[in-house]
Structure 1
Amino acid sequence: MASSFSSSSSRPLTDRVAIVTGASRGIGRAIAVHLHSLGAKVVINYALSSTQADLLASELNNASSSSELQAVAVQADVSDPDQVKLLFEKSEQVFGPIHILVNCAGVLDPKYPTIANTALEDWDRTFNINTRGAFLCTREATNRLVRGGGGRIILISTSIVGNNLPGYGAYAASKAAVETMTKIVAKEVKGTKITANCVAPGPVATELFFEGKTEETIKRIVDACPLERLGEPKDVAHFVGFLASDAGEWINGQVVRVNGGFVV
């Protein structure tokens, strides 16, 4: 990919186009903002939060020194193949060939049920968005990134896959499947100059993390981290930015736990 695009040390993603799913808030939002700061044109995908997504697109466009459009919000349910296809088509219509996919859309059951107490509809919803959504977005990306001369597929997993906490059965299982799929995709796209990796955050201070947790639970999680704090969305976003750049080209087929040592 390095030979196909112009870049600079301060804005290494200049002339590249990135789709970030689940980008209206949380980690996805931070990733979209950071990739934009590195020079990328960003497609902000959202499912429901149209106000937040539109506002973010407006903020990124207003912050840009260029007169060209730099960010656009596009609604799509990542579990729906037709909507995923339309997401990529709209992105190409606005910006041209796609170079980067960051699949950040995901759900977590805030009731934290045991496997025995997990409702079938909650299990299915988790897999539909987390696993089916990652598959559909990855499938579309592998067939489109080649048009831009290669690129990056970056899927967001979770460090919980590494420590198997009770109450996260559906969530961890759905992400473990994504990690395995990523490793296989990295091999299947040989010769395309596309890389595929998973970024697996630990506890990050987002709405998704805080929902359903008591203060005591949060304190216990913080105490378990060697750096004695929760992660911030920017901690994950900065690493995603590295993977998306030419500097991250030699990292391929990997699951990288970005968690401050919470899970090793």
Structure 2
Amino acid sequence: MMTGLSGSVVVVTGAGGLIGSAVCSALLREGATVVAQYRNRPPAVPTHVSIQADLTDEDQVRKIFAEARSTVGAPDGCIAAAATWPPNRTAIVDMTTAEWHEHFTANALMTFLTVREFLADVRSRGTGSLVLMGAAAATYGHPGRAHFAASKSAVTFGLLQSLVDEMTALAPRARVNLVAPGSVGTGEPPVVDADDDTAPQSFLALPDPPSADDVASAVVWLLSPRLSGAVTGQVVRVDAGLAGRFRRKVVRDSDLAAAAADGTARS
């Protein structure tokens, strides 16, 4: 199915990451012109424009969009996928102010500055589609990484819903949505004990975690004016049914068999 993205200009932040690179690849396959931002590692695929920039610096964020406008044209779409991920778990009781700022403040600020700059193009062009990147942690939390989870909650709930009306005030058909990935797998078959409730797969309704390509497909769908032109303000969870962790841990096949045997099972 045609997405209508061919020839469109799309800015992708965090393009050097696993998900960011998959998003760039998916957009290129659709014929989009991709402007990729990265901080340390360039995207794994060649894009039309690739810019190294620190998204916590507003002058550098302005430079990304200015370069896009001068080389390939003002962007039609933007994917705000950049984020910092705490490599180690730190309980809040032991967390320093610097650690909090490094992940909560930085993540919220990077998204804000990216969105603000894109909205200037939405206002001047009268159109635009924005896709934010959330996380399953925004809903379920992430013990030891509360600063990351809190930053994604701010984007998923406060920022997303505020932008719905703000964007249509700038352009009647401008849209904003959010993709919330769970833990992204590598695509390799998992090797786990089916009876081990501590294995990552035991927290999912589906047998395998989502891939970066799964997340990218959701991004393309939300960005596309043909596929989701009437969709705005929505959170699309790409997490293999992470809420299923409750069903999987509480209601197991052995439990159902026992309930059926004594007549307490319910259809």
- Determine if contact 2:100/2:147 at 8 Å carries over to the other structure: yes
Query: Which residue does the alignment assign to 1:39?
Result: 31
Report the number of matched residues.
233
Deviation at 1:37, TM superposition (A): 0.7
Query: Which residue does the alignment assign to 1:104?
Result: 81
Which of these residues, 248, 252, 263, is aligned with residue 232 of structure 2?
Answer: 252
Query: Which residue does the alignment assign to 1:199?
Result: 179
Mean alpha-carbon deviation: is it higher for 24-33 or for 186-195? 186-195
Any idea what the Cα deviations from partners look like across 1:65-121, whole Å, max 9, x if unmatched? xxxxxx110111111111111110011111112111101111111211111122221
In 1, Cα distance between equivalents of 2:131 and 2:2: 21
- Determine if contact 1:162/1:263 at 8 Å carries over to the other structure: no
SS across alignment from 2:16: coil
SS across alignment from 2:205: coil
Query: Which residue does the alignment assign to 1:169?
Result: 146
Any idea what the Cα deviations from partners look like across 1:54-74, whole Å, max 9, x if unmatched? x622xx5xxxxxxxxxx1101
Query: Which residue does the alignment assign to 1:242?
Result: 221
Query: Which residue does the alignment assign to 1:187?
Result: 165
Deviation at 1:10, TM superposition (A): 3.5
Alignment root-mean-square deviation, CA: 2.1
Any idea what the Cα deviations from partners look like across 1:129-185, whole Å, max 9, x if unmatched? 310000011111111134444111111010112112311210110111112111101
Using a 3 Å threshold, how does the CA distance of structure 1 residues 219 and 205 change in structure 2: closer, same or farther?
Answer: farther
- 2:84 is the alignment partner of 1:84: no
Query: Which residue does the alignment assign to 1:4?
Result: none
- Equivalent AA in structure 2 for residue 36 of structure 1: L
- Determine if contact 2:26/2:220 at 8 Å carries over to the other structure: yes
Which of these residues, 224, 231, 234, is aligned with residue 210 of structure 2?
Answer: 231
Rg larger in structure: 2
Which of these residues, 236, 241, 255, is aligned with residue 261 of structure 1?
Answer: 241
Deviation at 1:15, TM superposition (A): 1.7
Q: TM-score, normalised by structure 2?
A: 0.81
In 2, Cα distance between equivalents of 1:218 and 1:101: 39
SS across alignment from 2:213: helix
Any idea what the Cα deviations from partners look like across 1:212-259, whole Å, max 9, x if unmatched? xxx999962222111121211000000100011112121111222111
The ranges of structure 1 where at least 4 consecutive aligned residues each deviate by more than 4 angstroms after the TM superposition are 215-219
- Determine if contact 2:3/2:224 at 8 Å carries over to the other structure: no
In 1, Cα distance between equivalents of 2:135 and 2:3: 28
Deviation at 1:263, TM superposition (A): 3.0
SS across alignment from 2:168: coil
SS across alignment from 1:19: strand
- 2:200 is the alignment partner of 1:221: yes
Using a 3 Å threshold, how does the CA distance of structure 1 residues 153 and 11 change in structure 2: closer, same or farther?
Answer: closer
Using a 3 Å threshold, how does the CA distance of structure 1 residues 197 and 244 change in structure 2: closer, same or farther?
Answer: same
Using a 3 Å threshold, how does the CA distance of structure 1 residues 201 and 148 change in structure 2: closer, same or farther?
Answer: same
- Determine if contact 1:11/1:38 at 8 Å carries over to the other structure: yes
In 1, Cα distance between equivalents of 2:37 and 2:6: 20
- 2:14 is the alignment partner of 1:22: yes
- Equivalent AA in structure 2 for residue 20 of structure 1: V
Which of these residues, 121, 140, 145, is aligned with residue 98 of structure 2?
Answer: 121
- Equivalent AA in structure 1 for residue 221 of structure 2: F
Which of these residues, 45, 53, 63, is aligned with residue 56 of structure 1?
Answer: 45
Gaps of 5+ in 2: 187-191, 245-267
Q: TM-score, normalised by structure 1?
A: 0.82
Gaps of 5+ in 1: 1-8, 61-70, 207-214
- Equivalent AA in structure 2 for residue 137 of structure 1: T
